[in-house]
């Protein structure tokens, strides 16, 4: 079975001095954990915070990409980059874990299609058009609806991504942006890390009509592990206790000074506190998979963990080495082996292939 995680924030953690060749005690992901969890392919997303100025956004993203290349090189013989669906399968047959490159937030391309093409040439297989703020490409689900969906430039971006064979990722986008992408794109679109609004009303989650529309276009929605997206009760608990804000502040201090032992210790202690609190479990993840399958069909659902980009993971899925509990839970709910294989990775791989076919004109 091919296991493919479509979204992990590893590059951000690499910028915080984490060595991914080692089994780190508090990280969600590293190369040993990927192997222990049976994960064959993982997209490491270059996350650019939305508040960066244009040149700062581009430079920071290039710096992350450089760190990522260094760490994959350091793990030669264990992991290997993949840039196409066929390379993912080839690496698996050779016993190698595939690392793919995504970009979370289109701000680093500034207002430049040549920069978009350059990032594609450097290996970026998908771009999440926005993060938690509107940008020059489109409106975010957390923004001010500057454009009412895609901007005029954003429509050019989507068309050029189709031409290149780069996947259009609408995670973090406003509903109107998603609708515009469905209209403009010639290829299937995806959400690499979202959940179902019918089960939890978070702004980041997708309503049933958009789930269905993405499926009708041939795309996939990859279910996110973020506890706030899985459960409204958990989101309310974080707000009531102030734990969410405290975690954000402690993490920000750690990011600003990642090799300061006091900042590291405070961050670890916050992880312990969050893990001790009631939180959704792997069963809630499968609840969202169940709902997405009911609305979209089994061929259009997958998993995009958001590991290393979330403060705490669901109970039972504390890190990527625990991924097999998902497949066991799906078996207990009478999913067939073929259906589990589709959700685990075949569906996302199919979309990769289809996007690349559209770009070639086949």
- 1 vs 28, 145, 148, 190, 340, CA distance in Å? 22, 41, 41, 22, 9
Q: What's the pLDDT score for residue 63?
A: 98
Mean pLDDT of the chain: 96
Domain 4-230+281-360, what fold?
TIM Barrel (3.20.20)
Cβ(343)–Cβ(292) under 8 Å?
no
291 has pLDDT over 90: yes
Q: What angle do CA 309, 302, 149 make, to 5 degrees?
A: 70
pLDDT tens, residue by residue, 83-111: 999 999 999 999 999 999 999 999 999 99
Mean pLDDT for 129-136 is 97
Q: Cα–Cα distance between 74 and 306 in angstroms, integer?
A: 24
User: Band of the pLDDT at 362, cuts 50, 70, 90?
Assistant: low
| Dihedral in degrees, nearest 10, Cα atoms 170, 171, 172, 175 | 50
Phi, psi of 246 (to 5 degrees): -65, -40
43 has pLDDT over 70: yes
Mean pLDDT for 14-40 is 95
Q: What angle do CA 111, 116, 121 make, to 5 degrees?
A: 160
Instruction: Find the radius of gyration of the CA atoms of the chain.
Output: 19
134 has pLDDT over 80: yes
Q: Cα–Cα distance between 61 and 55 in angstroms, integer?
A: 10
151 has pLDDT over 80: yes
360 has pLDDT over 70: yes
Domain boundaries, the chain: 4-230+281-360, 232-278
pLDDT tens, residue by residue, 53-79: 999 999 999 999 999 999 999 999 999
Q: What's the pLDDT score for residue 259?
A: 83
pLDDT tens, residue by residue, 308-323: 999 999 999 999 999 9
Q: What's the pLDDT score for residue 252?
A: 85
Q: What's the pLDDT score for residue 194?
A: 98
361 has pLDDT over 80: no
136 token code pair: 């020059």
132 has pLDDT over 80: yes
271 has pLDDT over 90: no
Q: What's the pLDDT score for residue 248?
A: 86
Mean pLDDT for 185-202 is 98
User: Band of the pLDDT at 52, cuts 50, 70, 90?
Assistant: very high
């Amino acid at each position: 079975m091919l296991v493919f995680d479509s979204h992990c924030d590893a590059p951000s953690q690499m910028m915080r001095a984490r060595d991914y060749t080692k089994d780190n005690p508090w990280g969600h992901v590293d190369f040993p954990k990927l192997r222990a969890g049976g994960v064959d392919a993982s997209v490491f997303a270059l996350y650019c915070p939305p508040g960066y100025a244009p040149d700062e956004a581009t430079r920071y993203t290039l710096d992350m990409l450089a760190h990522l290349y260094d760490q994959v090189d350091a793990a030669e013989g264990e992991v290997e980059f993949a840039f196409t669906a066929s390379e993912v399968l080839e690496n698996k047959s050779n016993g190698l874990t595939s690392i793919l490159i995504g970009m979370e937030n289109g701000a680093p391309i500034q207002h430049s299609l040549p920069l978009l093409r350059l990032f594609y040439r450097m290996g970026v297989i998908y771009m999440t058009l926005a993060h938690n703020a509107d940008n020059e490409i489109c409106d975010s689900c957390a923004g001010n609806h500057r454009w009412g969906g895609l901007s005029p430039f954003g429509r050019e971006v989507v068309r050029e991504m189709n031409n290149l064979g780069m996947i259009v990722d609408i995670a973090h986008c406003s509903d109107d942006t998603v609708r515009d992408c469905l209209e403009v794109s010639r290829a299937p679109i995806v959400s690499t890390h979202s959940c179902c609004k019918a089960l939890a009303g978070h702004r980041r989650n997708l309503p049933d009509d958009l789930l269905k529309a993405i499926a009708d276009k041939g795309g996939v929605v990859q279910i996110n592990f973020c506890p706030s997206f899985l459960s409204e009760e958990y989101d309310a608990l974080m707000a009531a206790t102030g734990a969410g804000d405290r975690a954000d502040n402690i993490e920000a201090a750690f990011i600003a000074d990642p090799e300061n032992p006091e900042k590291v210790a405070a961050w670890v202690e916050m992880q312990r506190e969050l893990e001790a609190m009631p939180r959704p479990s792997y069963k809630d993840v499968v609840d969202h998979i169940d709902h997405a399958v009911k609305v979209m069909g089994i061929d259009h659902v997958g998993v995009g963990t958001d590991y290393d980009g979330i403060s705490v993971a669901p109970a039972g899925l504390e890190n990527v080495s625990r991924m097999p509990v998902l497949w066991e839970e799906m078996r207990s709910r009478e999913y067939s082996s073929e259906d589990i294989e589709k959700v685990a990775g075949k569906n996302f791989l199919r979309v990769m292939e289809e996007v690349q076919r559209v770009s070639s004109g086949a």
